[in-house]
Amino acid sequence: MDPALVNYGLHQNNHRTVRIAIGDNLLKKPCATELMRLNKSFIVKRSLKGPREMMRALGTLSSYIKHSLDTGNSIWIAQKEGRAKDGNDFTDPAILKMFHVEGRKQKVAFAEYVRSLKIVPVSVSYENDPCDIAKAKELYEKATHGNYQKGEFEDIESIVQGIVGRKDRINVVFGDVIDQDFDTPEALAQEIDRQIHANYTLFPINKLAAGLEDDTITEATHTTLKEKLDVLPEGAHQYLLDSYANPVKNILLDKAEMPEAAEA
């Protein structure tokens, strides 16, 4: 849903929609493959195992992304392999290294190359995550039994639930174009995360799960959260709470680490 909402916002404001990077784990059903291709998607081959195959695929992907941008086509790519199940979203520097594979071919330094990409971080906030209970169960199973075995089409089923399930309010915020020099993928990842966290919309359920007192938290907010917890084993409660509380904690942590906050 994230790129779909990004595209909807762009279309509503008379901008061209983006090409969407999707993992090949979502293409197990032919109907899903056709749907993705109709929506300007291109494939990220996550299932490759051999180092040579992986490097070849990364080079092709990096080259395609640069070609898309050079021909006036923006792309959307997740900051890592999907959103975090615990709401603790951080950018994987490996994705930023992948961007630069094409830059290395052209003998362009990392900072100069990624500046030419004109990266714009985007924050997508849902008041209600329609997959929150399933995510909490999965994390609980992993913690309790050491692993969680996904069903063959579970990723596709999650997409369907994400589309048709209750989401309530949604907010999409486009950040600023990153035009500073960042010499390493790790430094660039920090800036992307800073913008995503800063622009993330906190809803009453986020604040309640984080233990904050706020006048936007109503009796209905308490009821909604209780209903979610009631269908989960007690040991899974914290995983669901964390999924809503972690965005709050990340915003507070970023503010605490800002220079002006330290000086104050």
Q: What is the pLDDT of residue 131?
A: 93
* Domain residue limits at 217: 2-263
Name the pTM for this structure: 0.87
Element (H, E) at 133: helix 132-145
Pick 120 or 51 by higher pLDDT: 120
Sheet holding 19-23, edge to edge: 41-44, 19-23, 75-76
Specify the number of domains making up the chain: 1
Contacts (Cβ under 8 Å, ≥6 apart) of 123? 171, 172, 173, 175, 195, 196, 197, 199, 200, 201
Please answer whether residues 181 and 115 qualify as being in contact, where contact means their C-beta atoms are separated by less than 8 angstroms. Answer: yes
pLDDT at position 264 is: 39
Q: Record the tokens describing residue 248, joined without a space.
A: 């709050």
For residue range 51-110, what is the model confidence (pLDDT) as tens digits?
Answer: 888 889 899 999 999 999 999 999 999 998 777 888 888 999 999 999 999 999 999 999
Task: Compute the distance between CA of residue 113 and CA of residue 101 in angstroms, rounded to an integer.
Answer: 10
* All residues at 6 or more sequence positions from 216 whose CB lies less than 8 Å from its CB, including other chains: 204, 207
Q: Residue 114's closest CA among 103, 130, 129, 106?
A: 103
pLDDT-derived band at 263 (thresholds 50, 70, 90) equals very low
Please give the share of the chain, as a percent, with pLDDT higher than 90. Answer: 67
Please state, rounded to an integer, the average pLDDT across all residues of the chain. Answer: 89
Give tens-digit pLDDT for 195-245. Answer: 999 999 999 999 999 999 999 999 999 999 999 999 999 999 999 999 999
Q: Which range is least confidently modeled, 23-37, 65-79, 118-132, 167-181?
A: 23-37
Task: Using pLDDT thresholds of 50, 70 and 90, give the confidence band for residue 259.
Answer: low
Residue 255 has pLDDT above 90, yes or no: no
